């Protein structure tokens, strides 16, 4: 198949069965890393830019784009902005893996790294403060704001959730990781609008405040927040699970060595959430787990014994997975 440009290469129909992950039930991993940006954020990035253009907020030949990102959205926006000709600045932080920074720079983006955590132990507040300063200094600068824009939610309602329904039909459980909460909110809206009955489980990392927990330093990018995203809404229609980061790492290694697939830390977190709920899931259930990205960009961190030894709180006995 021939595509006109990279934004058309979105494979939304790839699922991997995980035999025996939950004995007696079927578990399907929705693989979102098979696109030019290598993550689920590609769909959000495309919609964020296109909706800003439709509203007249983003003007070709005039506007410059800025966004806060821990990595994946930054890569995705770098691709979209390169195609459309928008200069892009990504405000990232020390948790952003080096390969992601190099990818953004190779695609033409300017990457600014926040090196000191804020009072909550995270970086998000300082990233957003810098974005705010940049907006005041440059009237041509447009912040797409993945934390607030409805385009983030609608991207996943119209693609991610729809593709699960189309490809798999009725399911019993859907496990979704929570960062900006765009994927979760989109999947919930699709379920509500189509009157589906499956149970949705939001999975977040310990140290994130989204589910009401206390903030603390986290080392795995992709999930969690030290600030409540504006698009997030808790109406009681979904279950919530918090996962410590050592369990996320353990699941990444388990999937690699059992199923031959390298997954990112956010996928490991969501799979750990399934493990935490396994006693509540009836035998014979059809369970879908959204895998936001693959693990190639984390070889020097999550899959590195040296890096893990430098972060001993992330090491869990692998015999326990």
Q: What's residue 312's pLDDT?
A: 92
Whole-number average pLDDT of the chain? 94
Q: Which of 125, 143, 161 is the last residue of a domain?
A: 143
296 occurs within a structural domain: yes
pLDDT in tens, 49-68: 999 999 999 999 999 999 99
Residue 300 is part of a domain; what is its CATH number?
3.40.50.1100
CA 60 – CA 235 distance, rounded (Å): 38
**78-115 pLDDT per residue, tens:** 999 999 999 999 999 998 999 999 999 999 999 999 99
Question: Is residue 231 domain-shared with residue 162, that is, in the same domain?
Answer: yes
Angle, CA of 258, 263 and 266, to the nearest 5°: 125
- Residue 1 located in a structural domain: no
Q: What is the pLDDT of residues 235-256, one digit of tens each?
A: 999 999 999 999 999 999 999 9
Where does a domain end: 143, 162, 192? 143
Q: Do residues 279 and 187 both lie within one domain?
A: yes
- Indicate the residue among 143, 172, 188 that finishes a domain: 143
157 and 173 in a single domain? The answer is yes
Residues 229 and 136 in one domain: no
What does the alpha-carbon distance between residue 143 and residue 64 come to, in Å, rounded to a whole number?
Answer: 9
Same domain, 26 and 117: no
Both 139 and 158 in one domain: the answer is no
Q: State residue 318's pLDDT score.
A: 45
Q: Are 56 and 200 members of one domain? A: no
Quick one: average pLDDT of 173-177? 98
Residue, of 220 and 40, whose pLDDT is higher: 40
pLDDT for the residue numbered 88: 98
Count of structural domains within the chain: 2
Q: Is residue 191 part of a domain?
A: yes
Domain-located, residue 258: yes
Q: Quote the pLDDT of residue 214.
A: 85
Q: Which of 32, 54, 51 is nearest to 41 (CA)?
A: 32
Q: Is there a domain that residue 288 lies in?
A: yes
User: pLDDT of 254-266, one tens digit each?
Assistant: 999 999 999 999 9
Residues 67 and 185 in one domain: no
Is 311 a domain residue? Answer: yes
Whether 262 and 188 share a structural domain: yes
Task: Answer yes or no: do 30 and 53 share one domain.
Answer: no
**Domain carrying residue 118:** 41-143
pLDDT confidence tier of residue 122, bands split at 50, 70 and 90: confident
**Cβ partners under 8 Å of residue 171, min gap 6:** 164, 198, 286, 287, 288
Q: Is the pLDDT of residue 317 over 80?
A: no
307 and 248 in a common domain:
yes
3-state secondary structure the chain: CCCCCHHHCCCCCCEEECCCCCCCCEEEEEECCCCCCCECHHHHHHHHHHHHHHHCCCCCCCCEEEEECCCHHHHHHHHHHHHHCCCEEEEEECCCCHHHHHHHHHCCCEEEEECCCCCCCCCHHHHHHHHHHHHHHCCCEEECCCCCCHHHHHHHHHHHHHHHHHHHCCCCEEEEECCCCHHHHHHHHHHHHCCCCCEEEEEEECCCCCCCCCCCCCCCCCCCCCCCCCCCCCCCCCEEEEECHHHHHHHHHHHHHHHCCCECHHHHHHHHHHHHCHHHCCCCCEEEEEECEECHHHCCCCCCHHHHHHCHHHCCCHHHC
- Whether residue 71 is found in the same domain as residue 183: no
């Amino acid at each position: 198949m021939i595509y006109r440009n990279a934004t058309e290469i979105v494979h939304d129909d790839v699922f991997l069965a995980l035999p025996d992950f939950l004995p007696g039930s079927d578990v399907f991993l929705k693989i979102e890393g098979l696109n030019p940006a290598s993550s689920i954020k590609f769909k959000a990035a495309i919609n964020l830019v296109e909706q800003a253009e439709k509203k007249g907020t983003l003007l070709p030949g005039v506007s410059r784009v800025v966004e806060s990102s821990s990595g994946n959205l930054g890569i995705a926006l770098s691709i979209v902005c390169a195609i459309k000709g928008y200069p892009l600045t990504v405000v990232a932080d020390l948790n952003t893996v080096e390969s992601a920074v190099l990818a953004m720079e190779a695609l033409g983006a300017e990457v600014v790294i926040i090196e000191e955590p804020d009072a909550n132990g995270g970086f998000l507040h300082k990233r957003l403060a810098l974005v705010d300063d940049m907006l005041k200094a440059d009237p041509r600068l447009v912040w797409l704001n993945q934390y607030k824009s409805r385009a983030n939610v609608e991207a996943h309602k119209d693609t991610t959730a729809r593709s699960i329904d189309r490809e798999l039909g009725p399911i019993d459980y859907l496990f979704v990781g929570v960062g900006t909460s765009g994927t979760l909110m989109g999947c919930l809206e699709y379920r509500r609008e189509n009157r589906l009955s499956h149970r949705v489980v939001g999975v977040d990392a310990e140290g994130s405040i989204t589910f009401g927990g206390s903030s603390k330093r986290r080392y795995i990018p992709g999930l969690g927040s030290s600030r409540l995203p504006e698009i997030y809404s808790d109406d009681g229609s979904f279950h919530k699970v918090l996962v410590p980061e050592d369990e996320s790492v353990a699941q990444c290694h388990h999937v690699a060595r059992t199923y031959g697939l390298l997954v990112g830390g956010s996928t490991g977190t969501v799979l750990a959430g399934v493990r935490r709920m396994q006693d509540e899931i009836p035998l014979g259930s059809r369970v879908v787990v959204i895998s936001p990205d693959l693990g190639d960009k984390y070889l020097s961190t999550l899959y590195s014994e040296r890096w893990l030894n430098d972060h001993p709180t992330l090491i869990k006995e692998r015999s326990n997975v």
